[in-house]
Structure 1
């Protein structure tokens, strides 16, 4: 079983090769692509709309092959089935809009920082459609990736439209948005595609940059520490191999890929605890693995959560490339606004049946494991923090909230470990405070 390789054969949907192209040239490319598809393709009527935000950009930076493919296929799906003796006319309206993404870091209850990027909305519809039947273009599109409600998911029929799945995959790879309207007969009558004006601006910001420099220290990394950190990664890899459970084995290839992803995206950035970010992420995942040894999804989610929280890796990236269950775990972990939110009402279901709930992959239980592992790791590395009040606050919060929750729902040993680490951190704070006074 593999949770991370269902899209491995579709690399072209994930790895972009963006270059700049004018919108006029893009239209010519679409027309040429249509000629390759059908003998008498739809004719295009392109309109650039001046809206509240102004006129759309005259160019795009995108993966031209993917964008031309998705737009050409959208045109064919809208206009290719019209009963007409001559080639149908499909209207493409171009609107200026924006895409906004938020970094999911609501641990302290503060408003997460948002990033806005210029975008172009392509409204593709039959030329005979009235304006009221076309999709409404908004001035701003927020990050639209959310967990599907369990009941709604049950009601959704399985997708058998592979072409639409491919188009949607390419849109998500561009951090975009797609919306399709259907009349009674099920034929598409209009498609809305929202794509960034410059996909590299989003990609670089989302997957590489670390904007939260206030959370990290810039102390240099010695060659010895580099070697030690690599040893930590290798030891974790070996530990995972030995810990894999036969009934639900951990995908070792997926773990190797995740470790490489951590190393590439975090670089030598440090957490506020002075630990290298990727060393810290592995340490947290190791605690999760000790507690939930036969639930691979929780281990994967623990590693991905750290990337989402600290590198702005978008949730859309996780949903596109990884198992939907893993995506749901990550989304629910970053959705915790306050420590009190960890005591979720659904956890009453897991009392006195912890092992069974782990096997059932109870979402809120997985959230609890990851968040408590993160807190335990940070408390055990309290000596590395430069700002002692933060450590004292974490320790008191742990004693007041985390320890009782752990004793109520999890193994008492986890609660005991948290209590011991919190008390040790408070003692450290008092000791350092006395040293500063002297």
Structure 2
């Protein structure tokens, strides 16, 4: 049923690479088979509730620019209108999933009991929408960074009452995610960090965060939630320093608190850039440790030092990310969530559709390029050649040896190695053949 918000916009279809229709897919064909699997099943697209429907168009220097029929977002009537428009857009785009924060699907009441009541009410409404449309919940999460109560953190807050409020909030959101059949639950520690060490007990805060995550895992098993628990790295903003800095930091944290077998990572391109990494680096690190879970596919403006959350438009970057995802076996419970927002001057409902259409096409092109590179094996063969020496029995034996024995070997054989080319430019040219 049409809400009227997207009047004149019909369901987006695949028209092929020669199409000039901005409201049609040129590369994303959900039924196209890539490496033995439908493209839709590879990519598992999801729309983010917060940036698509809850964000009002502000930036650090200016307030609301968008005018939507569900603003102000302070009543259940407007929350239901927002849900109606959201599910209409999911169907226009043909996406299989969506993701949500609690504060973006329900009004903020200021107290836990009322927040719980409105969360239960709106997720009942969303469950009916899911049943009617077939669209599913990829993951849910709790917003524990926007309200002033979270200014010093949630699980890491020096006030035990805030810790308790956070625990109750996360419990309610896990319950709601389970009710909606969510395939994952995400924790992003937006303010789990510090502004200054002058007033911060690092060890106590990290221990509390580790205990909090163990409580989440224990509760997941207690209620029989089958989804994956994910944490999302980000180095800074809004906190000066956040404890979930990047993939490697999160992996070390999870191992320290015995969570490496229970929790995986939800990785965002924009957050990787803020941490000084490439997105494929973060994916490769998580995959190497068996902790890759899901992605938020957006980008940052490389001229800005803050998280701009723009829709992806760089095929080579996207291709390299999907290359490592496919190389690791692809998504299991995770998917490709567009944690991206319109520019504050993009006011029209059609802009929201066009942004997702373009992003889905970019991801489809990247996926196909990644699959072609894997099937061609050019990068795999180059890796095999570069590390070939380690397949020799003598090299393998060295790993089980000690420094004295290795030193004798170097002296006896008069070992004097010469460096060999890494062939970076050759491999960069190889990548460009596919994109």
| Greater helix share, structure number | 1
Would you call these one fold, judging by a TM-score over 0.5? no
The normalised TM-score by structure 1 is: 0.22
Q: Which has the larger radius of gyration?
A: 1
The normalised TM-score by structure 2 is: 0.23
